[in-house]
Amino acid sequence: MLYLDNSATTKPYKDVLATFIKVTEEYFANPSSIHKLGSEAEGLLNQSRKQVANLLGVLPNEIIFTSGGTEGNNLAIKGAAFANQHKGKHLITSVIEHPSVLESFKQLEKIHGFEVTYLSVDENGTVSCEDLQKNLRNDTILVSIMHVNNEVGTIQPIAEIGQLIKQFKNTLFHVDHVQGVTKVPLNINDAHIDLCTISGHKFHGLNGTGAVFIKTGVHLLPLFTGGSQELEMRSGTESLAGNVALAKALRLTTEKAEKQLKIVKETQEKLRSELMNISGVVINTPVFAAPHILNFSVPNLKAEVLIHYFGEHGIYLSTTSACSSRRSTVSHTLLEMKKKEEVAKSAIRVSLSVDHNEEIVEPFITTLKNGISKLTKVMR
């Protein structure tokens, strides 16, 4: 089996699962309970918060545990918009954000009367800083730009964007770092980021875990109200075992990435050069991109058909983003990058984990070549 769908989700590390089971068995008490077992659970929760904060280079009381990237993005975006609307109702994002960001903005626009500017992207999927500068206003209260695009791997100029936003005192900067964390370095403080989302299952943690960085002094309206857990930002009894597992996965993957990312990048480059030699293949990922994503199209073949062919040969990959892959066959990101409709319709994403190396290239390329030859004949 060759699993090349790591941007959709990663396989949890065995150590992470072992931690989850151990904590579930031994620290089952509610961290809010005042007895000894509760205090021990609370101690462990705080330790995990500290570990996540250290790994991200921020303060422990700036980390809120969530159920994943979708919740984190909703909390950061809607929470910031609702809490700061007295300063203005203008928001900025880009046209190629993840649906959990785009749909949050659409809801704020359509139901809550906010004005949203959607920045376009160039043929590499990059947002223009000049464009952003032109659109920033004194009543802009939030800008949300993803670090790494989930479909093509484009890296946005987050540090430059942060510099621009810093000049506007009413404007908060949110970064969806779900695809970037452990793959592409990001200094949250240097980039003047106020809000940042990560998701555990993208770095060998568990589904249903995640975290949001909320810079000290930034006000959000909580989406969940109740028992005031998570520094009053997210009510609900904490998933202690999930959060400890998230901290462990972040540590293990960060450590691995230090040694492995160069190999992942070399693997991606090798794949790219092999794909370039196959006639009819169009590569959609820009040359300067995150090391783990490579998106390409075979314009005369339906992506789903090729993906099923790969599946029959034990290789697993995706069309575009996992959330949209069952709903739509056209990649909105590729259309926004001005790719032709037949390219956007046939896009396939290979997404590597930090554990991959060049060994995957040969079986993948051989299967692709065989698939193209067989399926093209069938379609003739």
Binding site for ligand PLP (CB under 6 A): 68-70, 73, 98, 100, 146, 150, 176, 178-179, 199, 201, 210, 321-322
Residue number with CB closer to ligand PLP (88 or 210): 210
Cβ 79 vs Cβ 222: under 8 Å: yes
> Considering beta carbons, is residue 105 or 309 the nearer one to ligand PLP?
105
Choose the catalytic residue: 18, 21, 276, 323.
Answer: 323
Q: How far is the CB of 242 from ligand PLP (least distance, A)?
A: 12
Least Å distance between CB 151 and ligand PLP? 8
Determine the Cα–Cα distance for residues 299 and 167; give it in Å rounded to an integer.
44
**Smaller CB separation from ligand PLP, 263 or 322:** 322
Q: How far is the CB of 148 from ligand PLP (least distance, A)?
A: 7
Per the structure block, which two tokens stand in for 177? Answer: 């770092």
Which pair of tokens denotes residue 174? 């949110």
Find residue 261's DSSP bridge partners: none
**Smallest distance, ligand PLP to C-beta of residue 72, A:** 8
171: left (phi over 0), alpha (psi -120 to 50) or beta: beta
Which is closer to ligand PLP, CB of 27 or CB of 203? Answer: 203
- Establish how many alpha carbons lie within 13 A of residue 369's alpha carbon, considering only the half-sphere containing its beta carbon: 13
- Shorter beta-carbon distance to ligand PLP: residue 69 or 222: 69
**Min dist. Cβ of residue 29 to ligand PLP (A):** 27
- Whichever of 27 and 213 has its CB closer to ligand PLP, that residue is 213
Nearest position to ligand PLP, beta carbon? 69
Contact indicator for 92, 143 with CB cutoff of 8 Å: yes
Q: How far is the CB of 197 from ligand PLP (least distance, A)?
A: 7
323 is catalytic: yes
Angle (CA) 108-139-234 rounded to 5° is 45
Q: Which residues are catalytic?
A: 323
